[in-house]
Amino acid sequence: MDAVDIRAPELSALPADVRFEEMDLEAEGPWPLAGRQYDVVVVTNYLHRPRFPDLLKLLKPSGALLVYETFMDGNARFGSPRSPAFLLNSAELPELVKPLNLVRFEQGIRSVESPAMIQRAMAISGIWSEIQSQAIPLNEKGNT
């Protein structure tokens, strides 16, 4: 498992199977993660719109999962971030992940842990079939 951030955490706090890399994802020049691909990409409390297409390229072409949660407009009343550069507009996240298949989207006030205005989305790369998106009632699974 790989993890990146602009500042290194206390490495002893990371599980042994996590490889941490300190890097600035907003730096000018080539995308530092170019060429890497993952089955799952998780992003929390981060937004840099110019690199969003690069971020989506981290997902394998089919069956990879993106889980994304960050702050949105209206968060200033709870604290930082306050700058519009770091806040999603209402319903912006589904637009940003549009090359993928959106599985779930939520936006609003997060009251658990620390109050904030957030958006979160789950999306999958590749073909998304009807069977993957339908719930099957228990009585239809062949179990009587």
Looking up residue 65, the CATH number of its domain turns out to be 3.40.50.150
| pTM for the full predicted model | 0.85
- Does residue 68 sit within a domain? yes
The tens digit of pLDDT for each residue in 41-98 reads 999 999 999 999 999 999 999 999 999 999 999 999 999 999 999 999 999 999 999 9
- Higher-pLDDT residue of 133 and 91 is 91
* Domain interval for residue 122: 38-127
* pLDDT classification of 142: cutoffs 50, 70, 90: low
The predicted pLDDT at position 144 comes to 45
> What mean pLDDT is predicted for residues 103-123?
94
- Does residue 14 sit within a domain? no
Q: Is the pLDDT of residue 9 over 50?
A: yes
- Higher-pLDDT residue of 86 and 129 is 86
Beta bridge partners of 38: 59
Q: How many helices (H) and strands (E) does the chain have?
A: 3, 6
- Does residue 143 sit within a domain? no
Question: What mean pLDDT, rounded, does the chain reach?
Answer: 89
The predicted pLDDT at position 113 comes to 81
Domain count, the chain: 1
- Does residue 100 sit within a domain? yes
- Does residue 111 sit within a domain? yes
Question: What Å distances lie between residue 141 and 35, 129, 131, 135, 137, CA to CA?
Answer: 41, 18, 13, 10, 7
- Does residue 25 sit within a domain? no
The predicted pLDDT at position 129 comes to 60
- Does residue 15 sit within a domain? no
